[in-house]
Structure 1
Amino acid sequence: MTDFEAAETPAARPAATFAEAEEALLSRWPETRLEPSLDRIRAFTELLGDPQRSYRVVHLTGTNGKTSTSRMVDTLLRALDLRTGRFTSPHVEKMSERISIDGAPLDDEAFVRAFNDVAAFTHLVDADQPHPLSFFETVVGMAFAAFADAPVDVAVVEVGMGGSWDATNVADGDVAVVTPIAVDHAAYLGSSPAAIAEEKAGIIKPGAQVVLAAQEPEAAEVLLRRVVEVGASVVAEGVDFGVVTRAPAVGGQIVTLRGLHATYPEIFLPLYGAHQAQNAATALAATEALVGRELDDDIVRAAFAEVTSPGRLEIVRRSPTIVLDAAHNPAGAEALGQALEDSFTFSPLIGVLAVMGDKDVEGLLAAFEPHLAHVVVTRNSTPRSLTVSELAAQARTVFGDDRVTTAPTLAEAIDQAAALAEAGEALGVSIGSGAVLVTGSVVTVGEARLLLGGPR
């Protein structure tokens, strides 16, 4: 380790409060700083006693839908009286959301305890490796150890980015789930679905049961080749499972899902959009694959009725309606647009956009354009956020000058957008039917959720 790297490495110390644990974790390499190796996380989990081997694992990768699908799998498993751990990322509002046990995020005391349980071992890994443990690697180790300590029957684990080199990949999934693959994080994962699929295919391990959501042909070819290479088994959406029917309903949609062992008719899913119905079918197949049998119809119905997915087409305020969605790439924005058209009749719909600078901003804006009467562009609090002037310039090329305004802060942007939505008459539509969509990034949505106080 170089002197510079040693100086950067935070000292191991127990935390007394959530804020101290959070500060210690954030002092490590951020999630955007990657060094493709499993050496550090392997060394870390070995010192912890390889906790990830003490329970069954459902491992999820893909470009969009991972968190929603993870939450659905978790809910179904708990309905089967299995104790669950769930690891998802990034968090919407609070870091502790990433580690849940029995469906609930760790409270502050449990999060501090989980940090302190591994803190001394982080120092040992830092001293032994060429690079220190990152923030993400440390939180993954915390999660795996907390799950073993609980103990859980099954861990539902979402990758952070990619698959092969993701820190979660020291766990071997009994079931490996791949949600739809599209281009995102191109600088890290590649610029085509096939290239990205190569990295994501790394979570498919020998003997695993693989659940594939619908994929582009080039991505599917890569994934199926990996299945054959490692001797896994596979089921695919549209062949072995899928959405039979769906219809919008008040507060969500009614879906009929075909699983691996049975068809489950007319289930209420309190989430919006065809993409969430697809996620539900994938989650159902993954759960059936893990338990190896048909599920009781009433259990499935009750579980899906309880599903939530914060920051995914989430209504947090009325008069005017304010909706949050964490879409941050063109594929996610297109799914969001289809869901808006499918489930709502907002007019006008005013967008509030704050986007990370490393995203396909032009593609994102183009996907939003048909659905938004006007956009207020701003930035979120992170250094990665595109500046207001840069985002405004790109937005004007897509929306035109008259449909773009700017605001220096997210709070001011939401206020501007709400005023425009309420004054729909000025845009040539009836007063009282307008709404605001806050989108462009998980961070943007999380900050908006804090500003607005969550669902009402």
Structure 2
Amino acid sequence: MTDTPAPRPAETVAEAEDALLSRWPETRLEPSLDRIRAFTELLGDPQRSFRVIHLTGTNGKTSTSRMIDTLLRALDLRTGRFTSPHVERMSERISVDGEPLSDEEFVRAFNDVAPYTHLVDAEQDHPLSFFETVVGMAYAAFADAPVDVAVVEVGMGGSWDATNVADADVAVVLPVAIDHAKYLGESVTDIAREKAGIIKSGSIAVLAQQEPAVAALLLERVAEVGATAAREGVEFGVVSRLPAVGGQVVSLQGLRARYDEVFLPLHGAHQAQNAAVALAAVEAFAGDQPLGEDVVRAAFAEVTSPGRLEVVRRSPTIVLDAAHNPHGARATAAALEDSFAFEPLIGVVGVMNDKDYEGVLAELESVLAHVVVTQNSTPRAMPARELARAAVEVFGQDRVTVEPSLADAIDKAATLAEEGEAIGSSIGAGAVLVTGSVVTVGEARSLLKVRS
């Protein structure tokens, strides 16, 4: 091993982000925990200094993580939360006590682990990736805080995900569908097998409703490792839900008690199901006693989930939703029909080139009067004109407009929404949905916050 000079400490967030982004991107996966294990060992295995609730699944992880975090803090526990990807700022990925790290804290977290990254790089066949480094930062920051419990969302998959060096008390598996097929497998059972890897011996596995084959596979894993299962629709679930102004009112059957008249300021049946999963996860973590009804109501009333059917502007209404695969787009379409009465609804869609964009467009076709196809600023973005060809196949030529600039696409969609009469709808009732990618939504959120 040759001597490698220690990296210069970052002085700004931009410097820390540049150093992180110079590493393998999080979309590049080499299935091994060797690097992250070597890294966390050098850091003193910080992930062993707090309890963990670990989440996997295809969609809903970030919303559910935020609900779990809010419930735990309502129980006077100090929390860390690790989620990915970020919507606007990289520091959103690491939160303590419900708040993302400040710029100063993010730089400190990076500098705390940076001296060890080159040691791992020198010893391993492949250097630490961006994602592995950020996971190390998060676990070290949580140990330093210190937190009582970390709510940790996988980046991709489960077994080989860098977050899986932590052994969770509670392993949450949200609905599994096909996504990241290149890395995780072509069938839903292949993907579920990879995601099941977060279920460890002695843990409680909180399982959202799944396709029968997936449910069977997850229960096999539970039995194999000696875990305990809690299943949506059997041990817990949504009893009832009613759309309401600003969200919905739900009754939830938890593992320990039933909680009625709970206001959830998020839209859609999928968010009610996420709430049931979050409640069961916290009940499983907290022990045998029910959570107080007032505590549950107060916690859920405070939940936010940026970029998930988030209304960011009025006149016309602009809604952001990070759906980026057919399963997510289907839930978004159902929630729009369930909770809103937009006429017309104009879509602004920008996708990544490795996603099932045709499936996303097909799921949105029934709720969008017109679609403005665009692209975000990342190299992985599908060019707008290429996406337009697929959109024309789904929507027809007359319902598709191309605007490569995201800002121009939003302006065009807002104009179409306001001029609803021109496409057969009443003036003033229109709205815009920006969707297709977390990055597209994040960039739109930044644009609209600056300009609104």
* TM-score scaled by length of structure 2: 0.98
Structure 1 residue identity aligned to 2:269: A
Aligned-pair CA distance for 1:388 = 1.1
For 2:11 and 2:189, the matched residues in 1 are separated by 46
Asked if the contact 1:207–1:230 (Cα under 8 Å) also holds between the matched residues in 2, the reply is: yes
The aligned residue for residue 304 of structure 1 is 300
> Which of 332, 337, 340 pairs up with 2:333?
337
Alignment of 1:96-135 (within 5 A): 96-135=91-130
Corresponding residue number in structure 1 for 2:15: 20
Show CA shifts across 1:180-232 (max 9, x none).
Answer: 00011111111221110000000000001000000011111111111011000
Question: Which residue of the other structure, out of 381, 388, 411, is the alignment partner of 2:407?
Answer: 411
1:201 is matched with 196
Structure 2 counterpart of 1:327: 323
Q: Cα 1:455–1:60, aligned 2, differ >3 Å: closer, same or farther?
A: farther
1:60 to 2:55 alignment: yes
Does the 8 Å CA contact 1:76/1:287 hold for their aligned counterparts?
yes
Deviation of 1:49 after TM superposition, in Å, equals 0.5
Change (3 A) 1:156 1:195: same
Q: Distance in 2 between matches of 1:200 and 1:409?
A: 36
Corresponding residue of 1:179: 174
Residue 326 of structure 1 contacts residue 440 of structure 1 at CA under 8 Å; is this kept in 2?
yes
Distance 2:107 2:325 in 1: 34
Q: Deviations over 1:9-33 (max 9, x none)?
A: 9962211111111111011111111
Which one of the candidate residues 25, 41, 47 is aligned to 2:42?
A: 47
Counterpart CA distance in 1 for 2:66 and 2:347 is 27
Q: Is the 8 A contact 1:10 1:28 kept in 2?
A: no
Structure 1 unaligned spans of 5+ = none
Identity %: 76
Deviations 1:397-423, CA, capped at 9 Å, x for gaps: 000000000002100000000000000
**What secondary structure is seen at the aligned counterpart in 2 of 1:183?**
coil
Is residue 2:440 matched to residue 1:444? yes
State the alpha-carbon separation in 2 of the partners of residues 199 and 455 from structure 1. Answer: 43
Aligned pairs (5 A) from 1:362-381 = 362-381=358-377
Residues of 2 paired with 1:97 and 1:439: CA distance?
20
Deviation at 1:236, TM superposition (A): 0.1
- Paired with 1:324 and 1:179, the residues of 2 have a C-alpha distance of 22
The question of whether the paired residues in 1 share the 8 Å contact of 2:383 and 2:404 is answered with: no
- For residues 57-99 of structure 1, the C-alpha deviation after alignment (integer angstroms, 9 at most, x for no partner) is 0000000000000000000000000000000000000000000
Q: For 2:83 and 2:184, locate their aligned partners in 1 and report how far apart those are by CA, in whole Å.
A: 19
Q: Which amino acid aligns with 1:12?
A: P
Instruction: Report SS of the residue matched to 1:371.
Output: coil
2:82 corresponds to which residue? Answer: 87
2:384 matched to 1:382? Answer: no
Deviation string for 1:120-171 (max 9, x for gaps)? 0111101111110000000000000000000000000000000000000000
Could you tell me how far apart the structure 2 residues matched to 1:453 and 1:10 are? 42
Contact 2:58–2:177 (8 Å) recurs in 1: yes
State how far apart, in whole Å, the 2-side matches of 1:442 and 1:186 are: 18
Q: Distance between the aligned counterparts of 1:236 and 1:143, measured in 2?
A: 29
In 2, the alpha carbon distance for the partners of 1:55 and 1:248 equals 37
Is the Cα–Cα contact under 8 Å of residues 316 and 454 in structure 1 kept in the other structure?
Answer: no
**Superimposed CA distance per residue, residues 97-131 of structure 1 (whole angstroms, 9 cap, x where no aligned partner):** 00000000000000000000000011110111111
Superposed CA offset, 1:349-408 (max 9, x none): 000000011111111110000000000001000111111111000000000000000002
Please give the alpha-carbon distance, in whole angstroms, between the structure 2 residues aligned to 1:327 and 1:12.
Answer: 38
* Contact kept? 2:348, 2:434, Cα under 8 Å: yes
Would you say the 8 A contact 1:44–1:141 is kept in 2? yes
Are residue 156 (structure 1) and residue 170 (structure 2) matched?
no
Equivalent position of 2:245 in the other structure: 250
CA separation in 2, counterparts of 1:407 and 1:429? 23
The correspondence for 2:430, drawn from 411, 420, 434, is 434
TM-score of the aligned structures, taking structure 1 as reference length: 0.97
- The answer (yes or no) to whether the contact 1:10–1:27 under 8 Å persists in 2 is no
CA shift digits 1:17-55 (9 cap, x unpaired): 111111110111111111110000000000000000001
The two structures, once aligned, show a CA RMSD in angstroms of: 1.5
Q: How many residues align?
A: 451
Residue 396 of structure 2 is aligned to residue 400 of structure 1: yes
**What's the CA shift for 1:454?**
7.6
AA matched with 2:8: R
